[in-house]
Chain A
Amino acid sequence: MNNNNRHLISILMENEAGALSRVANLFSARGYNIESLTVAPTDDPTLSRLTLVTSGNEQIIEQIVKQLNKLIDVVKLIDLSETDAIERELMLVKTKASGEQRAEMMRLAEIFGGRVLDVTEATYTIELTGAGGKLDNFLRAVEKDAILEVVRSGATGIARGQKALHA
């Protein structure tokens, strides 16, 4: 009951000015935690899809879901952590890559299924996608002072199987 579990909540909402701040406001006003948040319009331009990662015990998550549903702009939502789902996050990492480091970095990127997007004499810029944990693992695998910059998109996700969230 008191376990603070990580939840990936995916929200379909009206693509209107202020909708995003209603969600952000709700979290700050009620003291809920937001770990990450991504948002973009969907194939239906009147709708946005917002995915956020939060954590809390069962009771807090229940309240978060109810409070989100109460927002007039929220059409539907799903707690992807409660179902079989695919989670993905995009990460761009700029690393040092000179001398012996170059081959080593390239190998690591390959192992993690990454792609090198940009190369200079001294750096690589690597693109990786995966669940958050995999991206964390990559960062752990790279020598700490080799990392120059990390940009993460925040997690997004979709349910497996036939289940689909639509208006």
Chain B
Amino acid sequence: MEPITGAEILVRCLKEEGVEYLFGYPGGAVLHIYDALYVQDDIKHILVRHEQAALHAADGYSRACGKPGVALVTSGPGLTNAVTGIANAYMDSIPLVVFSGQVPTALIGNDAFQEVDAVGITRPCVKHNFLVRDIKNLAETIKKAFYIATTGRPGPVLIDLPKDVTIAKAEYHYPKKVKLRSYSPTVKGHAGQIRKAVDMILSAKRPMIYTGGGVILSDGSPELVELTQLLGYPITQTLMGLGAYPATDSQFVGMLGMHGTYEANMAMHECDVLIAIGARFDDRVTGKIDKFCPTAKIVHVDIDPSSISKNVQVDIPIVGSVPNVLRAMINVIRDEKLKPDAEALTRWWRQIDEWRALKSLSYRQSSEVIKPQFVIQKLYQVTGGQAIITSDVGQHQMWAAQYYHFDRPRQWINSGGLGTMGFGLPAAMGAKFAFPDQDVVCVTGDGSIQMMLQELATMKQYHTPVKIVNLNNGYLGMVRQWQEFFYQKRYCMTYFEALPDFVMLAEAYGHVGMRIEKPGDVEGALREAFALKDRTVFLDFLTDQTENVFPMIPSGGGQNEMLLAERDEMVSTHDEGMVLL
């Protein structure tokens, strides 16, 4: 076999992995790779305008379609710019394979031009990383990277490629399979534990199902729906888990956690058996840990053993992939014709319906000023609930999660763990590459959008028409909300004294810009925007500047200590809570 260069090997490996899109940005250390990309058409390289966006776009692509996202950046600043995107994917367990250029091996450690210790910098925020020093290891390392990124609990894997390795030649051989003696995730749940869990689940008088992003990542939605409907139990989902169970079904009691619904959080607090599936008991979900689910026995299904009993001690841990474990549970229940306690369940639902009757997501509508919640409700109507929604981070993210009812997995794409402002726009672009025929909407705010605004140029270049719903209140709204509640309205550095004219800005990038100032114009503007199928439309909604996200569990509070919009005056939280953010 004719030896080929490292750069050519890389491109061939990507083809074998079925990679369609490579999101990246060139530079000195990766010039050979770009040269190899130039002479082929199979892999489409998307030239972003900032490396962070390359990572977010690859991430959004992966979240939308389930395949690993792939990114390519140069050494030094290319890599450091990418770190936020890598960390973002790591926190939400998104499978990415990231290639970074590196200075030639002979110069590593010499403080060469555009040199940084890429594997050192990224070590805490990758599932694994590699520095390839020898061309002979390149193909196998790439195979390992895809394997590690996509199996077990997924995550980003970085491969650092010194320039000389991309130039050196070797015979091409791509292994069909790799086996790592140090890595073999448990997929199948332990039968004995599953049996014990089923008994506990069916003994419940006040059961609660709580699921997270793991259900979506493992494509476990069909099994989750089947089990939940078989049991007839109430189900709540985390911010990362929305869509795995249809939000419009009556068994869904809404999102839980800091800005979850009253009924979801109360049911969590009062339940006697909690069935946690692919969720990690994050602090935004649990509130104060010693007040969390005080009366519940807990079953926890997760593929990552280190997620189990990390924050909350559980009674029955099951390590395995969600669809696999849930299928086994369903089989036990069906085979043995087991039934939940119908009488207790009726009483429990009656209680939940009482909590529901409080309508914790209600807000005061206005005929003068646009309420941000209203925009999301109209967006839901106009898109028929079918659009893929990405979001940035802040108040608008919570409103999108609360008021857009996600009925299918991979429909809701947001930065849950790291909370990265700027994620939404490049993620929307990535999702649009995955599903060019679907409506993709980026719900954002005037703060977040300015962090990755330059990607409007990329979207023009590649014709990825998404709709941008900017809930523009002139404030960094979530921080402002906290300053209002907990810092006596001392609005330090949360008001933008100068905002750009977003309409002109969108037009400057070659897109359509619209400004909407009246509640009566919201629906019409949305309809007009979605009618422009092949255009990116920037909808700048001037919204109520001081609207707050409710309900809310103030930091340090328990799940039963929610503040509701209409009912509660905001009072300063206790000192202990302030520490918790």
User: A-side interface residues toward B, CB under 8 Å?
Assistant: 13-14, 17-18, 21-22, 25, 29, 59, 62-63, 66-67, 69-70, 72-75, 167
Establish whether residues A13 and B305, one from each chain, have CB atoms under 8 Å apart when the complex forms.
Answer: no
Q: A14-B182, A17-B131, A75-B182 are in contact. Are A67 and B306 (CB under 8 A)?
A: yes
Chain B, range 109-137, C-beta contacts under 8 Å to A: 119-120, 123-124, 127-129, 131
Residue on B nearest A28 in the bound complex, by CB: B124
Establish whether residues A74 and B182, one from each chain, have CB atoms under 8 Å apart when the complex forms.
Answer: yes
Interface of A is mostly: helix
Residue on B nearest A16 in the bound complex, by CB: B130
Establish whether residues A73 and B309, one from each chain, have CB atoms under 8 Å apart when the complex forms.
Answer: no
Docked Cα-Cα span, A88 to B240, in Å, equals 48
Establish whether residues A72 and B120, one from each chain, have CB atoms under 8 Å apart when the complex forms.
Answer: no
18 A-B pairs (CB sep. < 8 Å):
A13-B182, A17-B131, A18-B119, A18-B120, A18-B129, A21-B120, A21-B123, A66-B305, A66-B306, A66-B308, A70-B305, A70-B306, A72-B127, A72-B128, A72-B148, A72-B182, A75-B181, A167-B181
Establish whether residues A72 and B183, one from each chain, have CB atoms under 8 Å apart when the complex forms.
Answer: yes
Interface of B is mostly: mixed
Measured between beta carbons, the chain A residues less than 8 angstroms from B124 are 25, 29
Q: A25-B124, A72-B127, A72-B128 are in contact. Are A62 and B309 (CB under 8 A)?
A: yes
Interface string of B152-174 (1 = CB under 8 A from A): 00000000000000000000000
Distance (whole angstroms) from the CB of A78 to the closest CB of chain B: 15
Docked Cα-Cα span, A42 to B254, in Å, equals 54
Q: A21-B123, A22-B123 are in contact. Are A72 and B180 (CB under 8 A)?
A: yes
Distance (whole angstroms) from the CB of B309 to the closest CB of chain A: 7
Docked Cα-Cα span, A157 to B36, in Å, equals 51
Measured between beta carbons, the chain A residues less than 8 angstroms from B304 are 70
Distance (whole angstroms) from the CB of A18 to the closest CB of chain B: 6
Residue on B nearest A72 in the bound complex, by CB: B128
Docked Cα-Cα span, A75 to B131, in Å, equals 20
Docked Cα-Cα span, A73 to B126, in Å, equals 13
Distance (whole angstroms) from the CB of B95 to the closest CB of chain A: 14
Measured between beta carbons, the chain A residues less than 8 angstroms from B305 are 66, 69-70
Measured between beta carbons, the chain B residues less than 8 angstroms from A22 are 123
Docked Cα-Cα span, A133 to B181, in Å, equals 36
User: B-side interface residues toward A, CB under 8 Å?
Assistant: 119-120, 123-124, 127-129, 131, 148, 180-183, 304-306, 308-310, 313
Measured between beta carbons, the chain A residues less than 8 angstroms from B183 are 72
Measured between beta carbons, the chain A residues less than 8 angstroms from B180 are 72
Residue on A nearest B304 in the bound complex, by CB: A70
Measured between beta carbons, the chain B residues less than 8 angstroms from A21 are 120, 123
Docked Cα-Cα span, A21 to B123, in Å, equals 9
Residue on A nearest B120 in the bound complex, by CB: A21
Residue on B nearest A46 in the bound complex, by CB: B181
Docked Cα-Cα span, A154 to B128, in Å, equals 28
Docked Cα-Cα span, A62 to B309, in Å, equals 9
Residue on B nearest A76 in the bound complex, by CB: B182
Measured between beta carbons, the chain B residues less than 8 angstroms from A17 are 131
Please give 7 more A-B residue pairs, beta carbons under 8 A apart, in addition to A21-B123, A25-B123. Answer: A21-B120, A63-B309, A66-B306, A69-B306, A70-B304, A73-B182, A74-B182
Residue on B nearest A14 in the bound complex, by CB: B182
Distance (whole angstroms) from the CB of B130 to the closest CB of chain A: 9
Measured between beta carbons, the chain B residues less than 8 angstroms from A13 are 182
Measured between beta carbons, the chain B residues less than 8 angstroms from A167 are 181
Distance (whole angstroms) from the CB of B243 to the closest CB of chain A: 27
Residue on A nearest B127 in the bound complex, by CB: A72
Measured between beta carbons, the chain A residues less than 8 angstroms from B309 are 59, 62-63
Measured between beta carbons, the chain B residues less than 8 angstroms from A72 are 127-128, 148, 180, 182-183
Docked Cα-Cα span, A22 to B128, in Å, equals 9
Establish whether residues A18 and B123, one from each chain, have CB atoms under 8 Å apart when the complex forms.
Answer: yes
Docked Cα-Cα span, A1 to B392, in Å, equals 41
Measured between beta carbons, the chain B residues less than 8 angstroms from A25 are 123-124
Distance (whole angstroms) from the CB of A36 to the closest CB of chain B: 22
Measured between beta carbons, the chain B residues less than 8 angstroms from A69 are 305-306
Establish whether residues A59 and B182, one from each chain, have CB atoms under 8 Å apart when the complex forms.
Answer: no
Measured between beta carbons, the chain A residues less than 8 angstroms from B182 are 13-14, 72-75
Docked Cα-Cα span, A66 to B304, in Å, equals 9
Measured between beta carbons, the chain A residues less than 8 angstroms from B120 are 18, 21
Most A Cβ at <10 Å: residue of B129, B131, B182, B308: B182
